[in-house]
Amino acid sequence: MIKINLLKQVKKGVSPREVAVYQQLVIGGILLIVGLVIIVFIEYSIRSEINSTKSSIAQLNQRMVQLNKEVNEINEFKKMKDQIKSKLDIITTLEKNRTAEVHLMDELSKAIPVDKTSILSKKLWLVSLKEHGDLIGMDGIALDNSTIAQFMDSLSHDPYFGDVNLTKTEQVKSNDLLLYKFSLTCKFISIPGAGITQTTAGKSQ
C-alpha cells in the first residue's frame, strides 16, 4: 500500500532507482522513529522500576530502623527483668537467712542453762556463731565444765541440732573469776539449704 501511494506521488520521469532509495529512506525513518519510541518506553519503564525499588528500599530502611528500636527496647526490658529477678532472688535469700538466724538464736537461747536461784541467771554466754559448710561453729564462755556439758546435752536432745561436738575448752581468768572458754560444732537442720551468715552474739544472751 505504501509502495502504491509513493508511486502515485512520484512524478513522471523519476527513475525506479530513485523511487527505491526514497522508499528506503521513508521506511528507515519510520523504523528509526519506532525504535526511538521503544527506547523511550524501555527507559521510562526502567526508571519507573528504579524509582519503585528505591521507594521500597527506603520503606524497608525505615522499617528496619523501627524494628531495631523495638529490638533494643525488648533487650532493655529483658535486662531490667533480669535485674529485678536478681534483686528478688537476693531478697528471698536474705529473708531465708534472716528466718534461719532468728530460729537458730531462738533454739540456742532455749538450750542455754538457766539457774533462777542464782544472781547470775545464765551460767553460759555465746560469743560468736559462724557457718562451716553444713556445720555451725560457736564459741562461748561458761562458769564451769558441767554447764558446758549441760548445754551440749540440751543441744543433742533438740530436734533442730545434731552431731554436737566439743572442739576446745580452756580455763581463763577474768576479773579474778575463773571461767571456761569453749568451742563446739553442730548441725542446724531447721531450714535445709538456708545459709547462716556469720553472727556475733553478745553476753546479753
- Using CB atoms within 10 A of its CB, is residue 22 exposed (0-12), middle (13-18) or buried (19+)? middle
- CA-wise closest residue to 168 among 136, 145, 190: 145
- Within 112-144, where are the H helices? none
Q: Identify the pLDDT of residue 190.
A: 55
Number of domains observed in the structure of the chain: 1
Q: Please write the tens of the pLDDT for every residue from 62-121.
A: 888 888 888 888 888 788 888 777 777 776 655 665 566 676 778 888 888 877 666 566
The residue segments making up the domain with residue 200 are 1-205
d(CA 2, CA 194): 107
d(CA 90, CA 28): 91
Q: What does R_g of the chain's alpha carbons equal in angstroms?
A: 51
**Are 166 and 137 in contact, with CB atoms under 8 Å apart?**
no
Q: Identify the pLDDT of residue 99.
A: 62
Query: CA distances (Å), 114 to each of 111, 164, 188, 197, in order?
Result: 9, 20, 22, 27
Q: Identify the pLDDT of residue 139.
A: 92
d(CA 94, CA 102): 12
Q: Identify the pLDDT of residue 161.
A: 85
Positions in the chain short of pLDDT 50:
1-2, 4, 6-10, 192-205
Instruction: Write the CATH number for 141.
Output: 3.30.1360.100
Q: Identify the pLDDT of residue 133.
A: 63
3-state helix, strand, coil in the chain (%, to 5): 55, 20, 20
d(CA 87, CA 191): 22
